[in-house]
Amino acid sequence: MSFGEKQRIKVHPFLHPLFGRDTTKFDVLAILLIASLFAASSLFLDGQQDLSGLKKSIFTLLALDLSGGIVANMTSGTNQFYESSLKKKYFFLLIHFLQPLLLAWVFPMDLPLILVTSMYTLLGSLLVIKISITSGQRVAAISLTSLGILLVFLLPYKNPILKGMFILFILKLVLSFSVNWTKNERNE
């Protein structure tokens, strides 16, 4: 069996929200690699020069979570974990109100733009989740993601690294999380 093939491994219950009930070594490696690369890269961004150590740490953890979450949410293990319960999906979105609040604390001068982008993203995610046909979810998600990225580029953030963080935020919630990526369209 090659490295990328689907030999499933059981996941500790504590890690179910990150990897699902079972996953593959390949999926875990991809999630951890992307998350680590983005977190490490975030340490060298110019927009962080004037931040305290605590704010830099929070920013780095957010980069780790957002980038790793994009990959994790598209794996079959994580996708199936959240698709098993609408309550889990809504709770996941609810806790993602915290990330924009943390970004607003780190970059208070951009609070109005953070609120606009966050509300767009969370409402877009809810809209995609409400669509019951997988192909409709995918089209809506990529459309809303594209419009969200355009919104990010058009908004005059004072700190430009927020643009990158909100692109990750939109990719994670609207495109990656809100779509049921493992559902077979033929069974709808």
pLDDT in tens, 140-157: 999 999 999 999 999 999
3-12, 50-59, 99-108: which has the minimum mean pLDDT? 3-12
Position 4 in a domain: no
- 96: which 2 tokens? 């993602």
Instruction: Tally Cβ neighbours within 10 Å of residue 100.
Output: 21
- 162: which 2 tokens? 């927020």
Q: Over 80: is that where the pLDDT of 185 sits?
A: no
Mean pLDDT on 52-81: 95
Which pLDDT belongs to residue 2?
Answer: 56
Range of the domain at 154: 9-187
Rounded Cα distance, 60 and 42, in Å: 6
Which pLDDT belongs to residue 188?
Answer: 53
Position 2 in a domain: no
Band (pLDDT 50/70/90 cuts) for residue 1 is: very low
Position 1 in a domain: no
Position 3 in a domain: no
Question: What pTM was computed for the model?
Answer: 0.91
Position 136 in a domain: yes
Strand partners, 10: 22
Q: Which of 172, 178, 173, 169 is nearest to 31 (CA)?
A: 172
Band (pLDDT 50/70/90 cuts) for residue 105 is: very high
Position 53 in a domain: yes
**Domain total of the chain:** 1
Position 162 in a domain: yes
Mean pLDDT on 105-116: 96
Position 80 in a domain: yes
Q: Over 50: is that where the pLDDT of 3 sits?
A: yes
